[in-house]
Structure 1
Amino acid sequence: MSQDALSTLLDTREWLLADGATGTTLFNMGLTSGDAPEMWNVDHPDRVRALYQGPVDAGSDLFLTNTFGGNASRLKLHEAQNRVGELNRVAAELGREVADKAGRPVIVAGSMGPTGEIMEPMGPLSFDGAVEMFHEQADALKAGGVDVLWVETISSPDEYKAAARAAELSGMPWCGTMSFDTAGRTMMGLTSADMVKLVDGLPNPPIAFGANCGVGASDLLRTVLGFAQTGTERTLIAKGNAGIPKYVEGHIHYDGTPELMADYAVMARDCGARIIGGCCGTTPEHLRHMREALETRPKGPAPTLEAIAEALGGFSSASDGTDDKGPARRERRGRRRG
């Protein structure tokens, strides 16, 4: 596929189904807590192929590589900071192999998670240092054949900007999502409206942007509505968790059923998202139901916050941070602004 295969596919489709959870799937395959998933790219390539094959078989149009923690800072925790190039390139090559055999266009997206370090002035990581770290990873993913870089679960605007710069230096198209997990804001305090301003101000904006992970599917859709209410015309991404995490017999279990995730996928589309997938807890079974729902249920108007809460469960906070009141007040303001 050409480098900008994602834009090509978006030109021909109203929505694309992304993949589900990487971590959940790998833990189900035997990864143990504290291990670096990226090592499996070299040590257990067949399991990583199976990780990618699951969403492809379930109907996903796009899947992420097993490289979320594949930057030097995160790999240093496993004394593998010198293996960034190898681990990312192999992950991408395995993905390319699976996608090219799919018999239809499937996008390989090179996952780039946060560095795990706090940026200046609060922490030790400089902007240039973050760019360098992301650039090293981006070049390796490019060498392995990804179609697009996929920056995800970012909470700091400076880190998002650094990843954007790295994509530019690598000459790669990119997408970027942030995680709004703190009363509707990112951990660093950004609201959905702040993120739209951030993306609009980038010299090298992403093909698509949005939200992933966070708390539950309801909160994530409230954030997507927040993006849409700014009037942005950029492609929006929704990758919500399969329900809320609960500890069950020593394991984290997500309570979102395939049926709930099917409702979430349709609501995400109606909220304005065009790239729709799942995050933590989302299995190929969830994805199959999501695909079927997107294909068979007609597009409707954007759901109200009440409809989202009724279908997917209540919100974790009264407001998403774009106002000082509750969600209802925000809706009125949103309509007036629109």
Structure 2
Amino acid sequence: MADKFAAALQENDVLLADGATGTNLFNMGLQSGDAPELWNTDEPAKIKNLYKGWIDAGSDLFLTNTFGGNASRLKLHDSQSRVGELNRVGAELGRELADKSERNILVAGSIGPTGDIMEPVGDLSHALAVEMFHEQADALKEGGVDVLWLETISAPEEFKAAAEAASLAGIPWVGTMSFDTAGRTMMGVTSTEMAHLVEGLATPPVAYGANCGTGAADILRTTLGFSAAGFDRPIIAKGNAGIPKYVDGSIHYDGTPELMANYAVMARDAGATIIGGCCGTMPVHIEKMREALDTRPRGDRPALEQVVEAMGPFSSETDGTEASGCGDAQCGSTRRGRRGRRRG
């Protein structure tokens, strides 16, 4: 599995990932408050259609429908005893489709945050976090994923626990944080601090980066922050399709396929090796991103002014990388305090 993912990185200038899981499942009938992971067994045809949409749109890899598949989140739906089953089946459905494709398609096992706050501020211990992540990782490995994909993490402590769990499972992993609070994670981590955190892990990820956030401009600024850190490790950019807006009582993202195509090219030029979409990103967005990455020549690394001109303004004046000398990811948490939230 490690060789397959590493080979894909070596053989391709850029790997195109998938788009939004939740947005597309809601369009298929998932109701707010429902656990998407239950559809792996209750609605397998719809999950296969989700995966197939990414393959048909041109993705090189897609994430499994297992973001909230840990015991803590599934407990909210009285399904904590089904962690192994739901993650394994979610991976098996993806493996089946990937193996049938004429192209080399990678299956990434999605692992989201536990939803709990870790010690010393919260009640979740490092040992229990590792146990929960390990349970999920083992099931995804059994289901046949090529790589574990940790996403939407805010706290460095939780990132470290997931890294230890991946090591115990004996499978390569990648990890992304969500920089959605003035260019930082909700726990105050900057892009520079995450880069240093990653390089200090005993079992570092194959690639790292950012997902979700507050729009294309912000995630491009974050990607530039990773590049500026100077480490030779593949970078992931998986941004939302524009900005969420309420329309007729529902959330819609205003990012057009053309905007996402421009974002994909600019993310590549900013230093990202794995590029995809997050909330609001549909197969039609991925199609345009595929076309743009395949047809537009690589350009120079964009300046912040060029990002704003192409993508619109940043959500905050700075992202914290202007501060001097904080190379320890923990210091972001100390400066800004610690907060936690649940993310669907």
TM-score (structure 2 length as normaliser): 0.93
1:293 is paired with a residue whose SS is helix
1:119 is paired with a residue whose SS is coil
Cα distance in 2, alignment partners of residues 307 and 22 from structure 1: 30
Aligned to 1:331: none
Aligned to 1:163: 162
Aligned to 1:309: 308
Aligned to 1:62: 61
In structure 2, the gaps of 5 or more residues are: 325-344
Aligned to 2:218: 219
Aligned to 1:254: 253
Q: Is the 8 A contact 1:4 1:147 kept in 2?
A: no
1:111 equivalent to 2:140? Answer no
Aligned to 1:122: 121
Aligned to 1:283: 282
Aligned to 1:234: 233
CA deviation profile, 1:267-298 (whole Å, cap 9, x unmatched)? 00000001000000000000000000000000
The alpha carbon displacement at 1:3 in A equals 4.2
Runs of at least 4 residues off by over 2 Å = none
Q: Is the 8 A contact 1:20 1:55 kept in 2?
A: yes
- Counterpart amino acid of 2:160? K
- Counterpart amino acid of 1:19? D
Q: How does 1:261-300 map to 2 (within 5 A)?
A: 261-300=260-299
The alpha carbon displacement at 1:321 in A equals 1.0
The alpha carbon displacement at 1:99 in A equals 0.4
1:35 equivalent to 2:34? Answer yes
Q: Is the 8 A contact 1:212 1:240 kept in 2?
A: yes
Aligned to 1:138: 137
Q: Is the 8 A contact 1:4 1:173 kept in 2?
A: no
Aligned to 1:9: 8
Cα distance in 2, alignment partners of residues 107 and 301 from structure 1: 29
1:73 equivalent to 2:72? Answer yes
Cα distance in 1, alignment partners of residues 255 and 17 from structure 2: 17
CA deviation profile, 1:295-315 (whole Å, cap 9, x unmatched)? 000000011111111111110
Cα distance in 2, alignment partners of residues 24 and 247 from structure 1: 14
1:96 equivalent to 2:95? Answer yes
- Counterpart amino acid of 2:68? G
- Counterpart amino acid of 2:138? D
Cα distance in 2, alignment partners of residues 36 and 4 from structure 1: 33
Cα distance in 2, alignment partners of residues 88 and 210 from structure 1: 23
1:149 is paired with a residue whose SS is strand
Cα distance in 1, alignment partners of residues 167 and 228 from structure 2: 28
Cα distance in 2, alignment partners of residues 74 and 286 from structure 1: 29
CA deviation profile, 1:186-229 (whole Å, cap 9, x unmatched)? 00000001001100100000010000001101100100000000
Q: Is the 8 A contact 1:238 1:273 kept in 2?
A: yes
Cα distance in 1, alignment partners of residues 124 and 157 from structure 2: 10
The alpha carbon displacement at 1:5 in A equals 1.4
Q: Is the 8 A contact 1:138 1:149 kept in 2?
A: yes
2:208 is paired with a residue whose SS is strand
CA deviation profile, 1:221-241 (whole Å, cap 9, x unmatched)? 100000000111100000000
1:218 is paired with a residue whose SS is helix
Over 3 Å counting, the alpha-carbon distance change for 1:324 and 1:193 in structure 2 is closer
1:246 is paired with a residue whose SS is strand
Aligned to 1:320: 319
1:198 equivalent to 2:197? Answer yes
The alpha carbon displacement at 1:324 in A equals 5.2
Aligned to 1:48: 47
2:149 is paired with a residue whose SS is strand
TM-score (structure 1 length as normaliser): 0.95
Aligned identity (percent) is 70
Which structure has more RCO (C-alpha within 8 Å, separation ≥ 6)?
2
1:210 equivalent to 2:220? Answer no
Cα distance in 2, alignment partners of residues 250 and 39 from structure 1: 26
Q: How many residues align?
A: 324
Cα distance in 2, alignment partners of residues 245 and 200 from structure 1: 33
The alpha carbon displacement at 1:4 in A equals 3.3
Aligned to 1:336: none
Query: After alignment, is 115-124 or 2-11 more displaced?
Result: 2-11
Q: Is the 8 A contact 1:4 1:148 kept in 2?
A: no
Cα distance in 2, alignment partners of residues 3 and 260 from structure 1: 33
The alpha carbon displacement at 1:254 in A equals 0.2
- Counterpart amino acid of 1:39? L
CA deviation profile, 1:130-168 (whole Å, cap 9, x unmatched)? 000000000000000000000000000010000000000
Cα distance in 2, alignment partners of residues 287 and 128 from structure 1: 38
Cα distance in 1, alignment partners of residues 27 and 74 from structure 2: 22
Cα distance in 1, alignment partners of residues 81 and 264 from structure 2: 39
